[in-house]
Amino acid sequence: MGTITTIVADGNEIFRHGLISILREADFEILSEIDNGALILTAYENVLPELCVISFDMPEISGIQLANKISDKFPNAKILILTDNASEKTLNEFLDSGANGLLLKSADKIELVEAAKKISDGETHLGKQFSKMMTREYLRLSRLKKGKRTSITPREQEVLSYIVKGLTSSEIGEKLFISPRTVDKHRTNLLKKLGLKNTASLVRYALSNDVA
């Protein structure tokens, strides 16, 4: 693999320069460095890098919002999110975004470079702590399979199958000839029946249990 063109975005100058130094040592070519979230999309459009490394917490616009904006406009974009927060909320926001990787800022240099190379090569990467969270979540969801799955009605299963495909409530409503409000009601019922908190968990449940 040759040099990997990259843009780096983080509001902390010391961390940003340290990150750039590590990536340059690993043969990444830094095309642009950004300290403000509002400038990232323009910077990306100007240089079209092979990799975009963004801090979760950026001034003006969050890294997750930026990942969504970039991936909406450039579906093949490769985006690595770095965060200080190893929480389920952070993981769920990442899973709902267009980013390809999530890594703690406290990760060592080897994992950072490995993640960056994997993502630029079209793979995905979850940091060790987030991988453990996913494993725990899959185990928890798999235990819901018995007893819970049978309580899902045929209509709810139809709605769930479209949720997994990424359709909005309006789009699902058009497919099933029901109103978006009715779709939202089915979504809420599914979350309550399965003891889940959000759409990301609902999708993970469906995939881990072959429901949709």
Instruction: Return the residue matching tokens 């080897």.
Output: 110
Q: Kindly state which CATH superfamily the domain 4-129 is placed in.
A: Response regulator (3.40.50.2300)
The verdict on pTM exceeding 0.85 is no
Distances (CA, A) of 63 to 49, 78, 140, 170: 17, 13, 29, 27
Query: What is the C-alpha to C-alpha distance for residues 34 and 28, in angstroms, rounded to an integer?
Result: 16
pLDDT, one tens digit for every residue, the chain (212 residues): 569 999 999 999 999 999 999 999 999 999 999 999 889 999 999 999 999 999 999 988 889 999 989 988 998 999 999 999 988 889 888 887 889 999 999 999 999 999 999 999 988 888 888 887 776 665 565 555 554 555 788 899 899 988 888 788 888 999 999 999 999 999 999 988 887 877 777 887 777 766 65
The DSSP string of 23-62 is HHHTTEEEEEEES-GGGHHHHHHHH--SEEEEESS-SSS-
CA 53/CA 57 separation, integer angstroms? 12
Q: For residue 52, which phi and psi values (nearest 5 degrees)?
A: -125, 120
Q: State the CATH class of domain 143-208.
A: mainly alpha
Where are the domains positioned within the chain? 4-129, 143-208
- What whole-number distance in Å separates Cα of residue 49 and Cα of residue 45? 9
